[in-house]
Structure 1
Amino acid sequence: MAENKEEDVKLGANKFTERQPLGTAAQTDKDYKEPPPAPLFEPGELSSWSFYRAGIAEFIATFLFLYITVLTVMGVGRAPNKCASVGIQGIAWAFGGMIFALVYCTAGISGGHINPAVTFGLFLARKLSLTRAIFYIVMQSLGAIAGAGVVKGFMPGHYQSLQGGANFVNHGYTKGDGLGAEIVGTFVLVYTVFSATDAKRNARDSHVPLLAPLPIGFAVFLVHLATIPITGTGINPARSLGAAIIYNRDHAWNDHWIFWVGPFIGAALAAVYHVIVIRAIPFKSRAQC
């Protein structure tokens, strides 16, 4: 008996247990099995059609995302005054609404990442292989370039003067402000992605319907409301890259590193927080008294 108590102390067991287990402690082996981590390299994927189909889905989704959102930004920029356009709120709705629609459409094919930062965060959590992560990021970037290019083709006379929807740190803010906004904004997004797609949570709360694309799209909407005045809101390196390449002006490239470093740091922090804190396995004693 004494040995068991001593073992409990060593393992960090709580002296007073919850009457109703909370969080991961509420899980049982009956309702959920932890899937194995994705392998770092999976050469077999390269010979699978589903692998390439998923990459194509990411390309098309990011293409449509840039097309709708940058075109919305252009429309607001062309308006004679704020009351004659959808304004910042409309831009935020365009970004959030498109993410909601596109994640809903592509989640069953590619997982609906549409964002290298999301892909990076899920890779760190071992939800997909390095092979697939690199392929997704390449296809997302190409889709973003194509989407921004089509917008420029529709309005060649206005695209450059309206700054092409490119991201840069706005006047009155420092590069540190921009970097911080991108880190926190991406953390919010990727944390929401992890929470909305957590299979263990779905198993526990199966009586509560959860449409994953909705909270993800809403998170994008809210982050845009907060950070459009600071950086125009990147939180998606592919979106920033596509607009910067087609716009191609010095002030966009001078700040461009922020829209890769910030989102990747934010995604990494969200992955660490989710895996280590949110999904941590509670301490249990090896023997019951």
Structure 2
Amino acid sequence: MDAYKKYLAEFVGTFALVFIAAGAVCADFYLKQSGGQGFGLLGISIAYGVVVIAVIYAMGYVSGSHINPAVTISFWITKRMEPNTAIMYIISQIGGAILGGFALRTIFPDALSSIHLGTSTLAAGVSIERGILMEFIISFLLIFTIYGTLVDKRASGGFAGLAVGLVVLFGSLVGGTISGGAMNPVRVFGPAIASGQFTNHYVWWIGPILGGIAAGIVYDKLFAERKK
């Protein structure tokens, strides 16, 4: 039964992430439609970072609050998670993201064809390679921070959620004008399923997953405490 609590926590946490992070993009669009200034990239990035902080503190003690297949796959590759558990985590994350996407479709119908419910897209003139590289770098930094704050027992755990959320905020700011700054495959997948926007969709799977694997390997090889 405890395992199912972990899967449910991943489902709910990922739903919250998609609903708030992509929802901030939809709300920004609605504000601009009505003549307002909108949140802008900074406001959208703050919403993304803060929801990650909230989910980590709310449910981190249950499942670790991966809420990101790139994190789960990194843990799997570095042998911190059993394959069956990792697969169930990813299924739960995908399910939560899809529900979040369809909730946004119901609440923000005008954002469906215009901004595809906040689905990340490459900016004009940005090549696929640049998009993957951006997602790789910011995902590497995010997941490296997770290893250094939430995983490593030597770290002070009280501020771990804040540190991770701030990296998400900064990653979204830096990557927002290139690749959308997603750092998370299901952050894009949920709205994409609900809106039907899959242009260059593999960018947001390849970049974050490779970045997460690289972060785990680098942390283990260079920074993790050696077992005596």
Normalised by the shorter chain, which TM-score bucket? over 0.9
- CA shift in 2, pair 1:199/1:181, >3 Å: closer
Distance of 1:64 and 1:106 partners within structure 2? 11
The structure number with the bigger radius of gyration is: 1
Residue 101 of structure 2 corresponds to which residue in structure 1? 148
Residue 154 of structure 2 corresponds to which residue in structure 1? 201
Distance of 2:72 and 2:63 partners within structure 1? 11
Q: Does 1:79 align with 2:24?
A: no
Percent identical residues: 28
Distance of 2:58 and 2:118 partners within structure 1? 25
1:1-289 counterparts in 2 under 5 A? 49-80=1-32, 84-202=37-155, 210-249=158-197, 253-279=198-224, 281=226
Distance of 1:124 and 1:184 partners within structure 2? 18
Distance of 1:83 and 1:216 partners within structure 2? 31
Give the counterpart letter for 1:275 in structure 2: D
Q: What SS is found at the alignment partner of 1:235?
A: coil
- Structure 1 range deviating more: 171-180 or 122-131: 122-131
- CA shift in 2, pair 1:123/1:187, >3 Å: same
Q: What SS is found at the alignment partner of 1:179?
A: helix
Structure 1 residue 280 displacement after superposition: 6.0
Distance of 1:281 and 1:61 partners within structure 2? 32
Kindly tell me the number of residue pairs found equivalent between the two proteins: 227
Q: What SS is found at the alignment partner of 1:126?
A: coil
Judge conservation of contact 1:78–1:162 (CA < 8 Å) in 2. no
Structure 1 residue 141 displacement after superposition: 0.6
- Identify unmatched segments of 5+ residues in structure 1: 1-48, 203-207, 285-289
Deviations 1:67-123 (A, max 9, x none): 112221012123338972221101000110000000111111001101000111112
Judge conservation of contact 1:186–1:263 (CA < 8 Å) in 2. yes
Deviations 1:179-218 (A, max 9, x none): 000100100110000000234313xxxxx66421110101
